Every structure is written in structure tokens, then in C-alpha cells.
Amino acid sequence: LLQVLITGPADTPYMNGCFEFDVWFPNDYPTSPMHVNLETTGNHTVRFNPNLYNDGKVCLSVLNTWHGRPEERWNPETSSLLQVIVSMQSLILVPEPYFNEPGYERSKCTQAGQQVYNFLASDVYM
């Protein structure tokens, strides 16, 4: 078991937050990706990102927990723990996490999408 601590990036809702992940490697690693579990969930009560579930699931193509494009999925010859950590930092802990959800990304540049995002974000910051 490996524990990873990621600090929330500046100018995001996660700024100054510390996010703990447990990482473990299956017996067939690197043929299969490592398993990553978010431990910072408020005892499994908080889901603060569409890609981070309150049960700890981390949804990323490179972990094969999301069906993304084939080139985004785990490749035993080129994928690495570093790639997974960088993906979590750059694809999940972002300024507007609401739009991480595939069904909502199309509304990012619309007035309705921004209104919903602002409403949800104000609840997070309170």
C-alpha cells in the first residue's frame, strides 16, 4: 500500500486542501493499473467532484474506471504511477469541477451552465 497526499491547486475550490489517496498494486501489475481510493471523503459522506465518489472511487480513464478513448486507458508499456498522479491533479482538481461530468461539459460556455455551476460552487464555499 502506498499513500499519496495531493494538495489542492491554487485558484480551485480545492486550494489549500489536502487529499489523501491509497494506492495498491494488483498481482498482475503493470499489466493492469493500480487501484486508487480517495480517503478524504468525510467518512464516506462527501462527494465533491464528479470523478471522486464518496465511496472512494477515483474515476479516470488511465485507471480503467472510466471508458474514455483507447489512447487514454492504461497501457502497461507506457503508463505509470506518475501519470496517474498528474492526471488526478490536472484532470480532477480543476477550477470548475462541475464540468468534469461528461453530461455537463457541453454547458460550460452557456449562461445556464454557469448559473448551475455558481449555485453549486457557492454551497461548497459556505
3 state DSSP class of 34: coil
The helix, strand and coil proportions of the chain, stated in percent and rounded to the nearest 5, come to: 30, 15, 50
| Annotation says 59 is catalytic | yes
Would you call 10 helix, strand, or coil by DSSP?
A: coil
Catalytic residue among 6, 34, 36, 59: 59
Give the span between the Cα atoms of 76 and 61, in whole angstroms: 14
Residues serving a catalytic function are: 59
